[in-house]
Amino acid sequence: MAPQTRPLIILSGIVLALSAAMSGAYLYFLAHAGNTFNDFFVFWAAARQLQQGTLPDVYNAFGFQTFMQSLTPETLTPHPFVYPPYTALLFWPFAVLPFHTGLLVWNGLSLLLYLLAVRHALRPQTAFAWAVLIAPATMVNLTFGQTGLLTSALTIFGFSLLNRRPAIAGCALGLLAIKPQLAFLPLLVLLTTRNRKAVTIAAITVSLMTAASLAVFGTEAWSAWLLSLDRFSGNLPDSSSHHQNGVTIYFALITLGTNRHVAMAGQVAVLAAVLWAVTRALRKTPNDPAATMAALISPLLATPYALIYDLPVLSVVCLMLIRERPGAGFSNCQLLAMTAAWCLPLVVFVARTQAGIVAPAVMATLFVLVLNTLRTNSKPRLEENPKNI
């Protein structure tokens, strides 16, 4: 064993042990939790209400909250449904299933797609992919029944296939529009990298989803969604739960006391910088895995709205870094950055009110680490030949 690899092996063992402990805690929670409410309950309730009414009824926050409360004896905190109309089509089939069955199917399908995407990104060392099953970000998504595993899978497929299978990549990134805030930067990247085939397929995919939602729900649904989105975004700066679970530059600046307009201006500036860095990486070194890693992190740095369940892509980036440098070793700072990124959902829970500052700092550090890896990989290497020494 090379001396420089020992710290990585020891730290990896500790982190995986903690991840396994969290997985056990999650399974215990599923077996013994007294209540059943989680974020998937919101998706399932929206689908159930669509059986009895219209999508504008779902976007009526008070009416939807009343309907959700009628489905359970537990006292629920307000949780509006603010996904676009075509995303409602994704949840609609789950209305025919009981809640617990629907949650099991949702989690199972999301985890399967995520694992397939991770295995593809880590080829040929696909054995690494199994580690994500006990990653904290995975456990958070399974606990909440959230969309993070699905959106992460689409992001991974989109950027890892961008050069070899641009049509599939464009389709994946187009489907990512089920969460528009995460799709915005990837779709911009397709434009700035001038990948015409991927851009065309992504545009067709989004257009078909929009057309399907208009055919099923009508234009009124889109008008109702825009109104609900405006109300939701207006309340966002004062939401304590979003401050505790938010992971973006926007939330960081709000936490530091800036007003929402200054915070949004700061977020836009970061978006521009990240877009430039990722575009440059993908155009100069399109086949370098480090360029793909930078692209995977970029949506989380660029969006003003992302929460802890949007973080599974970071687990994959950590594994890709280890795959790319199996014998080269890492500095202490690099190991710390990778560990913090892998455990970021736990870090956010511990930081609580300061999570809005800690999370983007960790992601930005990992982003810089990846760009540094890209710079190192792009340097010409001397052949191991005495004539070159």
Q: Which two tokens stand for residue 366?
A: 């990992």
Residues 163 and 161: their CA atoms lie apart, in Å, by 6
Can you give the length of the chain in residues?
Answer: 389
pTM: 0.89
Q: Average pLDDT of each block of 10 consecutive residues along the chain (389 residues)?
A: 55 67 62 65 94 91 91 85 95 93 94 95 84 89 92 96 94 96 95 94 97 95 92 73 80 87 94 96 89 95 92 94 71 82 82 72 92 72 41
pLDDT on residue 245: 79
Conformational region of residue 145, where left means phi above 0, alpha means psi within -120 to 50, and beta covers everything else: left
Spatial separation of the C-alpha atoms in residues 117 and 336, rounded to whole Å: 26
The alpha helices in 84-128, defined as continuous H runs, are: 85-91, 99-121
pLDDT (0 to 100) of residue 25: 66
Q: For residue 3, say if its preceding peptide bond is cis, omega within 30 degrees of 0.
A: no
What distance in Å separates the CA atoms of residue 345 and residue 355, rounded to the nearest whole number?
10
* Partner residues linked to 246 by β-bridges: 307
Q: What is the pLDDT of residue 90?
A: 95
Q: How far apart are CA 110 and CA 293, in angstroms?
A: 21
Question: Pick from 82, 90, 56, 297: which is nearest to 175 by CA?
Answer: 90
Q: Which residues contact 54 (CB under 8 A, 6 or more apart)?
A: 217, 220, 221
What pLDDT does 238 receive? 66
Distance CA 112, CA 12 (A): 24
End-to-end CA distance of the chain: 27
Strand partners, 307: 246
* Residue 304: Cβ-neighbour burial (10 angstroms; 0-12, 13-18, 19+): buried
Q: Considering Cα of 125, then 280, then 275, then 162, what sign does the dihedral take?
A: negative
Q: Where would I find the H helices in the chain?
A: 6-32, 39-52, 55-59, 61-70, 85-91, 99-121, 136-144, 148-160, 166-175, 180-192, 196-217, 219-235, 240-245, 249-255, 260-284, 289-302, 312-324, 332-342, 344-351, 355-378
What is the structure's pLDDT at 124? Answer: 80
What pLDDT, on a 0 to 100 scale, did the predictor assign at position 241?
Answer: 67
Closest listed residue to residue 102, CA positions, set 111, 113, 91, 112: 91
Residue 126 near residue 320 (C-beta atoms within 8 A): no
Specify the pLDDT at position 387: 45
**List of residues 6+ apart from 65 with CB closer than 8 A:** 76, 78, 79, 80
C-alpha span between 263 and 253 (Å, rounded): 5
The confidence score (pLDDT) of residue 237 equals 66
For 307, the 3-state DSSP assignment is strand
DSSP-derived letter for residue 122 is: T
253 phi/psi in degrees, rounded to 5 = -70, -35
Q: What's the pLDDT at 388?
A: 41
pLDDT recorded at residue 385: 43
Q: What is the pLDDT of residue 30?
A: 54
